Every structure is written in structure tokens, then in C-alpha cells.
Amino acid sequence: MDIVAAPAAQPTSCPIGPLSADERRLWALEALCDPLTIGILSRLRLPRRCDCLELGAGRGSIARWPATQCLHGSVLATDTDIHHLRRVHEPNLTVVRHDVVDGPEFRPGSFGLIHSRALFTHLPDRDAVLSRVAGWLAPGGWLVVEEPILLPTGMLLDPAVGAALTAFEHLMADALGSDFQWARNMPAALRTAGLVEVDVSGALAVTSGGGAINEFWRVTLAHLGADMVDAGLTDHMTLRHALDRLNDPDYRDFTMAFVCAWGRSTS
């Protein structure tokens, strides 16, 4: 497993002004993960005639990439909320509202590439859904899955930041059944789904005053803070201190890693 440090975005890199809180969160994930994702997709040497599926497409940054590389193929970008995909325009890219758990099935053998990011961590029966999605691959097609791992919060340099992230993890587990350690099992899950040539890589996000991971946590804690307090998982003072630390340009630590695993279908 290769681990590289995710580059910290400069303060001017995040277009905070015109974006909603949800768009800022999605921007942060793009800034953190897109270099890793594109590097891996480039290694797969996709044919120019390749039909691709992007599950949980977010703002569409990765859906655009195969659309510009596989010029004789197509890209289907899906999400349960396609509002943030309204600005995605490529001649061979189609946007569709779709729920990978309860939505319509795609035909087996439909896609040469299926990619997802920060999706399976939040799904019930995630291993079963992963196996079902793998069945949509054409022979020789690739499934590329990216998920976050929350690093041990008790080991963070600032106890308030650790307490706030622990509260976040518990809230998401209670509300959605999210598992921020499942990514460790992705290579095994891909092999169980029948895929071969399974491999894995990762990026370690470094906090910095203007970095993308700080923006992700600032938006997330501000959005969910009241729910975390109401659930008795933390208090306002702890949240305030954590947000202050995330705004501190001198605060450096490691809170999250992003793992990307991939495998190829043989049938």
C-alpha cells in the first residue's frame, strides 16, 4: 500500500465566496483526492472507447476526466442529488439521478470503468452493494473505489480537535451506519467480489491553515455541530476550540487518510 502526503491547498485555492457549504465540502474532497484519483486512472490505460460510470459524482470533477480521455466512449455521472452537477457539460457525459442502494440495476457487463468516492463508507450492507456494482463491469473492466479512514482521534495533538472528530464519527455511525475504518477492508472486499489484479494506494491529509482538509472539517463541524451537541456527543466550548485550531495557520496534524483500491473483472 503506497501512502503519499496529500498536498495542502493554498488559502487562495478554495473559492469560498460563491460556494454553498455543501459545495465547499465537495471542493475540499476534490482538492484532496483528485490528484490521487487521476494518477491511478491514468495507470489503468483506459481505452478511448470505454463506457464509464461515476457513482456519487458530487460536483463532477472525476466524471469529467474520463469524458475527456475516452473520447469515443461515454460517461454516466450519477448521484442522489444532481444539483451540483448542473455545470458539468461534456458531449459524451450524461447526468442521471440514481441511488446505488435502491435505484434501478444496470445491465451486467455495461461499463469498462466504475468509480466512486466517499460512498460505500456510508452505505448499509456495503460489501453486498460493492459485489453487486462489480457485476456491472464488462470483462476486463475496472472498479475503482475511494474511501476515507479517520485516524485515531485520541492521538491528535489537540484534545478538542480529537473530541470533535470523535463526536462526528459517532454521530455519523448512529445516523447512517457510517464506518470510517471500512476502507482498510477494501482490497479484501474487491477480491470477494471476484475482481483480480487488486491493488491499493492512499493519501494522508495534512492540516494547514489554508488547506483543503481544514476546510472540510470547518464546514462539516459547523454544519453538524448542533446535532452533535444535542446528541450529547460534545459541547459548544469544545467545538469552538476545535474550529479555532482548524483556523490556526500554525496548527499541523494528521486527521484523515484517503484510500483508493481497484480491481479488474474477468467475466
Q: Cell numbers at residue 69, please?
A: 480521455
Mean pLDDT of 255-259: 96
Q: Cell numbers at residue 140, please?
A: 476486463
Ranges 41-45, 142-146, 227-231: which has the least confidence: 41-45
3-class SS of residue 87: coil
Q: Cell numbers at residue 183, please?
A: 476502507
Q: Given the DSSP bridges, would you call strands 111-117 and 137-150 parallel, antiparallel or unpaired?
A: parallel
pLDDT of residue 4 exceeding 50: no
Q: How far is Cα of residue 3 from the mean position of the Cα atoms in its chain?
A: 16
State the maximum Cα–Cα separation within the chain, in Å, rounded to a whole number: 55
Ramachandran category for residue 142: left, alpha or beta (phi over 0 → left; psi -120 to 50 → alpha): beta
The chain-wide mean pLDDT, for the chain, equals 91
* pLDDT value of residue 211: 85
* pLDDT value of residue 18: 67
Give per-residue pLDDT as tens, 41-78: 999 989 889 999 999 999 999 999 999 999 899 999 99
Q: CA geometry: angle at 233 spanning 229 and 235, to 5°?
A: 45
Q: Give the type of residue at 261.
A: A
Q: How far is Cα of residue 5 from the mean position of the Cα atoms in its chain?
A: 16
